[in-house]
Amino acid sequence: MNPFSAAATWLGDAGSWQGPNGIPLRITEHLEISLASLVLAAIVALPAGLYIGHSRRGVGLAVGVANVGRAVPSIALMGILLPITQAVDPINGFFVYPTLLAMAILAVPPILVNAYAGVAEVDADVVEAARAMGLREGQILRAVEVPLALPVIIDGLRSAAVQVVATATLGAILGFGGLGRYIVDGIAQQDDGMLYGGVALVAILAVGSEALLVLVQRFVARRRGVEEPREPVGAPPEASAAPAS
Amino acid sequence: MLDWGWMADHLPVLADKTGQHLELTVIALVIGFLISFVVGVIAYRWPGAYPPAAIFAGVIFTIPSLAMFSALVPITGLSILTAEIPLVLYTLVILLRNIVAGLRSVPRDVVEAADGMGFGRSRRLVRVELPLAIPLIVAGLRVASVSTIGLVVISGTLGVSFGGLGFFIFEGIQRGFPTEIYFGAVPTIVLALAADRFFVLVESLATPWSRSRARGGAT
């Protein structure tokens, strides 16, 4: 049977949609761990990136974290984390935490770099003007720099999210659920329908989440345009021309 | 904690697996670069050719690596092709985009100046446009090499004759033996960092004119 009809048959089977191994549950697991790791990463990376961008202190650190973070293969990181998390919690330390933490760690660089670059690229004259108007540093960051840097900041969150959704699939190697489960189990049980159905679902989820985030980005950009029509239009340029993934 | 004796005993295997890891990575990068280079130059000269190539590459990128390796088994068996075809395909996404972006980043004025100096199209490409595109092309190679080194690990799901250092990671997980996991994971990370540094060095050697005004950058 060819991959497409195998996947169609499996996806069309009501049994695939029910129970603890059902598609809705696996999608939920996949999205839950993705969202959790993204939130964890953002809690660390956003404040750090904004601070570095505003104060220009620790730029070398940000660049270093970005370069090292980009170079670490996710599966190797999961392997490194596994014995540590398992020592803490034998069950979840095997099934959940290595994947969750590896995803969170790998989501830090794109969020950090874009938060930093977005704020650092804000026109120095605008910041000076705000300072001359008597705004305190915290107010400058909140009222001037962050709004101007928002498209770049959101772009960082978007690349992190896309990467995280893809990495969650690999979690199945370590026994995590999510959609990668179908691929790992499909291979192990030689069930082509499950394997190719799983591939289709992962692809749909990846494309879907990227499309959704692009929409969010457009929405934010448009809202800014409507609320601040007289603002000298100059959304900071994209952080870099190099691909994020 | 870690079983150092086991590690010492397995150093020859480590050398063997590292060699395999490098071999799989280098083959994928060389073939992927050649294909991307030809397609990228064509797409630069005839912009209409770029969108189909970019869409093809984008679709490839949404296919999980885990699945792509095993999907090929019925077609190519358990040969080196089964590992290399996905590895090459994944490099295309990154390299093609950066080669085209690099060529397009060459300022219009520079291209016109080259025309004014009587450069033909091919000479302009080789002498002017490609050298100026080097930073973005090498940035692509950095990302592609690191991502390929990670993907070689995933090819270990095909069986013990693939995966390079990934072999230790998977066997270590299966046996619940942390020492073996680290024996694979740490060298994999070192390899990826080394590849990244290697291409930074390549860039600075290939663009001597930028060194004098070099500033630290994230990319």
> Over 80: is that where the pLDDT of A225 sits?
no
Specify the DSSP class assigned to residue B119. Answer: -
Most A CBs within 10 Å: which of B17, B59, B70, as the mutation test of the A interface? B70
Q: How far apart are CA A79 and CA B186, in angstroms?
A: 9
Contacts of B73 (CB under 8 A, 6+ apart): B82, B158
Sort out which chain A residues have CB atoms less than 8 A from B162's CB and list them: none
Average pLDDT of B49-66?
A: 83
**CA-CA-CA-CA torsion sign (A152, A157, A158, A163):** positive
Tell me which chain B residue has its CA closest to the CA of residue A210. B62
A78-107 residue pLDDT tens: 988 998 998 888 888 888 999 999 999 999
Closest CA to A91 of A29, A11, A148, A176: A176
Tokens for B106, please give them: 């060459």
Give the 3-state secondary structure percentages of chain A, helix then strand then coil, rounded to 5: 80, 0, 20
Phi-psi sector, A240: left (phi>0), alpha (psi -120 to 50), beta: beta
The mean pLDDT of chain B is: 89
Contacts of B49 (CB under 8 A, 6+ apart): B39, B42, B43
In angstroms, the Cα distances linking B209 to A11, B107, B205 are 57, 16, 9
pLDDT tens readout for residues A104-135: 999 999 999 999 999 998 888 988 899 999 89
Q: Which of B67, B184, B193 sits opposite A68 (nearest CB)?
A: B193
Contacts with B58 (C-beta within 8 Å, 6 or more apart), sequence order? B93
Q: What is the 3-state secondary structure (H, E, C) of B128-140?
A: HHHHHHHHHHHHH
Q: Which residues of B touch A245 (CB under 8 A)?
A: 61, 94, 143, 147
Q: Do A242 and B98 touch (CB under 8 A)?
A: yes
Q: How far apart are CA A143 and CA B130, in angstroms?
A: 43
Q: What is the pLDDT of residue A103?
A: 93
Instruction: Name the token pair of A102.
Output: 């590896």
**CA pair distance A135, A204, nearest whole angstrom:** 46
**Spatial contact of A242 and B140, defined as CB atoms under 8 Å apart:** yes
pLDDT tens for each residue of A8-33 = 889 888 888 888 889 999 999 999 99
CA nearest A104: which of A174, A42, A13?
A42
